[in-house]
Structure 1
Amino acid sequence: MPELPEVNALAADLGARLSGRVLDRFDVVSFAVLKTFDPPVSSLSGQTIHGVTRHGKFLDFAIGDLHLVMHLARAGWIRWRESAPTPSKGLQRGPLAARLVLDDGSGLDITEAGTKKSLAISVVRDPSDVPGIARLGPDPLSDDFTEDVFAAILSSAGRAQIKGVLRNQGIIAGIGNAYSDEILHTAKMSPFKPAAMTDDEVARLYSAMQSTLRDAIARADGLAASELKREKKSGLQVHGRFGEPCPVCGDTVRQVIYHDSTLQYCPTCQTGGKPLADRVLSRLLK
């Protein structure tokens, strides 16, 4: 799933390609991805694209007086297309979910792999009309997201596990499964540690969050959409690296499996050398 650094890079890449261009049409190939009906998709045709920004993990295309908002979810992606697409006939099965076609035929193919479909596209007058955006917590890289703000968030979360707090989009926007693993590894904290913590721990976690996200953004800077997945994977230290040696201490990276996701961590760096039991409400094994 693309998270804050990848969505940030996508917005920059697509904004450079699309700003000032005229949209010929936006074709919805898979009807299920479209979450709005007013304004209609047809109202985008002939409008100038003013830019592409992000809200958390949401992409926001400003087109005319409207906004085309996308959430790529677990398996969605965007590919730049240099030439005009082959005309499609009605709704089709396959990875193609929608197409953005510019006035010269070039544009974007929006795809979604797998069988669990959760990619979402909305056409709205204001980004806050999208419920997911309206519910977003603060952006962790905004100027007003200070250590004091972060401390207040953690204090309010109380005994909730820090891994879940970092991933909760209504608490902090843009961090998902991968970067929460990376932040906690950098901070040397267990994913099951309670969110309420000491001032020193807050400072350590805040620093890890800032450095992890900003380093990932720097690595992705200037990359095209086609290069972002590879770059994200290459930069991760523990997430997705189950069974491999930790690059910091050499211990074997372990994981906890949930019904719809997994987390990875280093026992030596994060849990005092003790493995976490592989069930949802785990505690450190005795």
Structure 2
Amino acid sequence: MASGRGPARPAGPWPAPARRGTACRPRRGGRLERVPELPEVEALASFLTQRLVGRVVGPVHQVAVNVLKTYDPPLTALRGRTVRAVGRRGKFLVITTDGADGPLCLVVHLARAGWLRWQVKLPAEPPHPGRGPLALRVQLEPAADDPGAPGPSGFDLTEAGTQKRLAVYCVREADEVPGIARLGPDPLDEAFTLEALTALLAGERRQLKGVLRDQSVLAGIGNAYSDEVLHAARLSPFKLAAKLTGPEVATLHAAIGSTLREAVERSRGLAAGELKAEKKTGLRVHGRAGQPCPVCGDTIREVSFADSALQYCPTCQTGGKPLADRRLSRLLK
């Protein structure tokens, strides 16, 4: 029950709010969430499929000490193996290789500040540990059908900033990675039907924003695309999932599919270096606080937390009422 100082804080997996008075202040451009999510990782998998499948892995250089989360098999076991497939599991990139002793997978989670850079020609000298963003380098053996190549190709995994969360795993099967083992259904899978979503939300007492971001509920949706989905569905980010009506669940299901598939289509065929820019231009509300809503023209608002923010349109999603500071007044349901 709320005290005289204000309403009780609703339950939910939310980070701590930002400074008092900043929760809903529109800011030009907002804060863009650049974390690679399902559409970007799907596009990366497609990009790498064309360049890795059939190629033989050369030296793998671990530059950042903390990037590798497994030790058996070692990264050196990848050398000499042939890449069989590149795929996606939620936000995880999975590179599967074949060898005499069976498959071996290189699994990558790019986290908040990680990225993959394709290199047509890698430097001749192996990388050395330092203060730069390079965390891991995978080199390919020269292709037999391209003897005139300028040098070995491959890719670098990089991570900016001080919070080192980029994670690499070398495993026999992708399901050995804890984050993959706990994933919920993939929203682009044919099995993700309206009935499946209805079952997932039944009895779910958390707010929609948190539910959509929970990887054990749905795999691959993060901060940015949860904002986009909820805007397309015209639903408040703080509405309790269990209180959705049948028509609202159907609308949410349709918005999840259309939002993610449109983003994947926009990214299809783009080089790895172009995906971040495409994500920024393709988003309608996320990262656009202070700008007009592309649907109704109202000003896009923002709710800030300690290390993230969400954006929404009051007219489209909350009956015209801006969401107030969570510590000072009740959230809209």
Q: Into which bin does the TM-score normalised by the smaller protein fall?
A: over 0.9
User: Which of 116, 121, 124 is matched with 1:83 structurally?
Assistant: 121
Q: Deviations over 1:67-122 (max 9, x none)?
A: 00000000100011011225246422211000010113110011001111100000
Cα-to-partner distance string for 1:178-225 (whole Å, 9 max, x where unaligned): 000000000000000000111011001111111101111111111111
Q: Are 1:232 and 2:266 counterparts?
A: no
Letter in 2 for 1:5: P
**1:267 match:** 314
Q: For 1:26 and 1:146, locate their aligned partners in 2 and report how far apart those are by CA, in whole Å.
A: 41
Deviation by residue 1:11-36 (Cα, 9 ceiling, x = unmatched): 00001111000111111100101000
Question: Does 2:215 align with 1:181?
Answer: no
User: Residue 109 of structure 2 aligns with which residue?
Assistant: 71
> In the alignment, what sits opposite 1:133?
180
Distance 1:189 1:27, change over 3 A: same
CA positional deviation for 1:156 = 3.3
Would the aligned equivalents of 2:61 and 2:126 in 1 still touch at CA under 8 Å? no
Q: Supply the AA of the counterpart residue of 2:141.
A: D
**Local SS of the residue matching 1:275:** coil
* 2:3 is the alignment partner of 1:3: no
Q: Which has a greater percent of helix?
A: 1
| CA distance in 2 between partners of 1:86 and 1:257 (Å) | 46
- Segments of structure 2 that go 5 or more residues without pairing to the other structure are 1-34, 143-151
Cα distance per residue 1:240-267 (max 9 Å; x no partner)? 0011111111111111111221000001
1:14-93 alignment runs, 5 A limit = 14-64=48-98, 65-88=103-126, 90-93=128-131
Q: Percent identity among equivalent residues?
A: 60
Structure 1, 255-264 or 271-280: larger mean CA deviation: 271-280
Change (3 A) 1:109 1:206: same
| Residue type of the alignment partner of 1:109 | D
CA distance in 2, matches of 1:89, 1:210: 41
* Inter-partner Cα distance in structure 1 for 2:237 and 2:114: 27
Deviation of the 1:161 alpha carbon = 0.2
Distance 1:143 1:67 in 2: 25
Preserved CA contact (<8 Å) 2:118 2:155: yes
What's the offset of the Cα at 1:282?
6.5
The aligned counterpart of 1:198 is 245
Task: Show structure 1 runs of 5+ residues with no match.
Answer: none
Distance 1:280 1:31, change over 3 A: farther
Aligned equivalents of 1:125 and 1:168: distance in 2?
26
The root-mean-square deviation of aligned C-alpha atoms, in Å, is 1.3
Q: Distance in 2 between matches of 1:267 and 1:88?
A: 53
- What is the TM-score when the length of structure 1 is the normalising length? 0.96
Q: Which amino acid aligns with 2:54?
A: G
1:144 and 2:191 aligned:
yes
Task: Find the aligned partners of 2:81 and 2:166 in 1 and give their Cα distance.
Answer: 24
Kept in 2: contact 1:275–1:284 (CA 8 A): no
Query: What amino acid is aligned across from residue 127 of structure 1 in structure 2?
Result: A
Cα distance in 2 for residues equivalent to 1:218 and 1:42: 36
Native 8 Å contact 1:160 1:195 kept in 2 = yes
**Could you tell me whether the CA contact under 8 Å between 1:274 and 1:284 is conserved in 2?**
no
Helix, strand or coil at the partner of 1:21: coil
Query: Which one of 143, 162, 165 corresponds to residue 118 of structure 1?
Result: 165
Question: SS of the residue aligned with 1:156?
Answer: coil
Would the aligned equivalents of 2:208 and 2:240 in 1 still touch at CA under 8 Å? Answer: yes
SS at match of 2:269: coil
Measured in 2, the distance between the counterparts of 1:201 and 1:208 equals: 10
Determine which structure has greater relative contact order: mean sequence separation of CA pairs < 8 Å that are 6+ residues apart, divided by chain length: 2
Q: Distance in 2 between matches of 1:168 and 1:3?
A: 13
CA radius of gyration, larger in: 2
Tell me the matched-pair count.
284
Alpha-carbon distance in 1 for matches of 2:277, 2:266:
11
Aligned match of 2:213 in 155, 167, 185?
167
Inter-partner Cα distance in structure 2 for 1:156 and 1:2: 30
